[in-house]
């Protein structure tokens, strides 16, 4: 009888594991829309990223909840917006706020998943290795020296780029890919797998071997499309975020604009190679037919548009992300969805895809209707927050920005995809602004840091050479 009961329990557990899909959860740091499928730059070459998103549904109007690593990742992993947590910027420590929150990985762990994490998932690398968060947390993978090289001569800390004498196999993201492939092939099958892989590149510094730079000859590099007087109709709060006297002025003075663009494209190309290796590894694994793939980048990135570099702003280039979901039996290959979505939609979507209950604190709408039909009716908007009181709202056609001081920007993407003409002060725009503003919070809690570090994320002038995660 005992043997029969033991057999029954094992069989039941095996059946439960087989009934749950596996999840390959891929996070990417600092990648904007410079992918072939999104067309953010005409010279971007990303055949493997394109191959990944073509397996399911690509969301072409997806946006981060905050345009910085820390708050974006905290919002996605917790399902809570910055104005609910006080995690607005990189200067607002997330680990204390989230220590008792049922985050995505904790939820999957509590519901029987084998949860394995490696690379960069949250902003603070070391705080993730908690016994109540993962079955096993791998952390960062050893890589080449990446700080204070000053290869571009700008002497601005890790705001640096250039070809390095290193083997591709020496880079951390290469090793992270090996780690993920190994677990896809060898992880026990008695439990469903939630495998979270966080790629570091193309985060600064843009150091990759010369072979990647050679793919983008400097003489052929095209700069982003810009407008010289683009900041003239932007409120002071927006100009402050742009910080034209900082990075952009240094790039122009050092004649590094084309070299910076080349380096970003080269680093993306390195990332793309790793994605290709990862997909091949998945296809060679026993999990290939039952694995949900979630692909997301934590925010966008500027390379001189609006005289701004990095993230830390509320325009299209900084909030737009690369995001796709491949769900066997639900999504159809080569589909795109133009609905405005943001990363508070991710948590409930994963729950619905895997049959897990949605925690009470998670209020975002599931993307399941759009995964089944990318053209389905969708009334939600995407909201991005950078600092208390500063928000952008994006729908299918418009971007509305309201700063903490009440000043505004409004752009019509049907006519102005580069956001060159601020219509906020024009006659006849009141109804549009009011409709979009209605999605903004009525109340916002204080930042975790108490606003003492206000402006910390906006680089102005020369940065100290200090190794830190951005």
Helix H or strand E encompassing 194: strand 193-199
Quick one: CA dihedral 274, 52, 313, 120, positive or negative?
negative
**Cβ atoms of residues 311 and 333 within 8 Å:** no
Q: Residue 451 gets which letter from DSSP?
A: T
Cα 168 → chain centroid: 23
Helix H or strand E encompassing 430: helix 430-437
Give, rounded to a whole angstrom, the gap between the first and last alpha carbons of the chain.
59
| Cα(20)–Cα(54) distance, integer angstroms | 23
Instruction: Judge residue 451's burial from the number of C-beta atoms within 10 Å of its C-beta, 0-12 exposed, 13-18 middle, 19 or more buried.
Output: middle
Of the residues 123, 158, 183, 203, only one is catalytic, namely 123
Residue 69 is a catalytic residue: yes
Q: Under 8 Å CB-to-CB from 432, ≥6 apart: which residues?
A: 398, 400, 410
Q: Encode 389-413: b = buried (16+ Cβ within 10 Å), e = exposed.
A: bbbbbbbeebbbbbbeeeebbbbbb
Q: Under 8 Å CB-to-CB from 264, ≥6 apart: which residues?
A: 34, 161, 202, 206, 301, 303
| Cα(347)–Cα(101) distance, integer angstroms | 13
Q: Residue 382 gets which letter from DSSP?
A: E
Residue 384 is a catalytic residue: no
Q: Encode 452-463: b = buried (16+ Cβ within 10 Å), e = exposed.
A: eeeeebbbeeee
| Cα(468)–Cα(100) distance, integer angstroms | 25
Residue 372 token pair: 């089944």
| Cα(183)–Cα(247) distance, integer angstroms | 41
Of the residues 64, 69, 337, 384, only one is catalytic, namely 69
Residue 229 token pair: 């007087």
Q: Which residues are catalytic?
A: 69, 123
């Amino acid at each position: 009888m005992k043997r029969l009961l033991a057999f029954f329990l094992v069989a039941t557990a095996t059946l439960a594991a087989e009934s749950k899909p596996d999840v390959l959860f891929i996070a990417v740091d600092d990648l904007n829309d410079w992918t072939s499928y999104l067309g953010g730059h005409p010279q971007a070459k990303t055949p493997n990223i394109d191959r990944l998103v073509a397996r399911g549904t690509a969301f072409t109007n997806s946006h981060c909840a905050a345009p910085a690593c820390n708050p974006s990742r905290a919002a996605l992993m917790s399902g809570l917006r910055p104005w609910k947590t006080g995690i607005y910027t990189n200067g607002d420590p997330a680990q204390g706020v989230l220590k008792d929150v049922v985050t995505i990985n904790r939820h999957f762990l509590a519901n029987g998943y084998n949860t394995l994490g490696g690379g960069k998932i949250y902003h603070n690398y070391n705080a993730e290795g908690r016994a109540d968060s993962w079955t096993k947390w791998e952390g960062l993978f050893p890589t080449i020296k990446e700080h204070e090289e000053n290869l571009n001569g700008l002497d601005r800390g890790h705001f640096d780029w250039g070809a390095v004498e290193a083997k591709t196999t020496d880079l951390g993201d290469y090793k992270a890919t090996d780690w993920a492939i190994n677990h896809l092939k060898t992880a026990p099958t008695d439990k469903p797998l939630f495998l979270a892989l966080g790629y570091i590149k193309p985060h600064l510094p843009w150091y990759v071997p010369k072979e990647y730079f050679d793919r983008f000859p400097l003489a052929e590099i095209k700069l982003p499309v810009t407008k010289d007087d683009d900041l003239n109709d932007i409120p002071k709060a927006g100009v402050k975020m742009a910080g034209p006297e900082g990075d952009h002025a240094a790039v122009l003075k050092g004649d590094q604009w084309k070299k910076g663009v080349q380096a970003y494209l080269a680093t993306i190309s390195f990332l793309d190679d790793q994605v290709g290796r990862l997909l091949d590894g998945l296809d060679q694994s026993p999990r290939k037919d039952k694995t949900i793939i979630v692909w997301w980048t934590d925010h966008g990135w500027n390379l001189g548009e609006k005289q701004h570099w990095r993230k830390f702003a509320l325009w299209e280039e900084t909030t737009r992300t690369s995001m796709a979901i491949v769900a066997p039996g639900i999504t159809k290959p080569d589909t795109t969805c133009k609905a405005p979505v943001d990363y508070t939609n991710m948590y409930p979507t994963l729950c619905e895809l895997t049959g897990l209950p949605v925690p009470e604190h998670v209020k975002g709408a599931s993307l399941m209707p759009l995964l089944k039909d990318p053209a389905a009716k969708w009334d939600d908007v995407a909201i991005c927050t950078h600092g208390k009181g500063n928000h952008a709202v994006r729908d299918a056609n418009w971007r509305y920005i309201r700063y903490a001081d009440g000043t505004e920007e409004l752009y019509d993407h049907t006519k102005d995809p580069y956001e060159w003409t601020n219509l906020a002060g024009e006659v006849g725009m009141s109804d549009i602004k009011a409709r979009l503003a209605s999605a903004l919070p009525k109340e916002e809690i204080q930042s975790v840091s108490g606003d003492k570090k206000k402006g910390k994320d906006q680089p102005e002038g020369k940065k100290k050479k200090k190794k830190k995660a951005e």
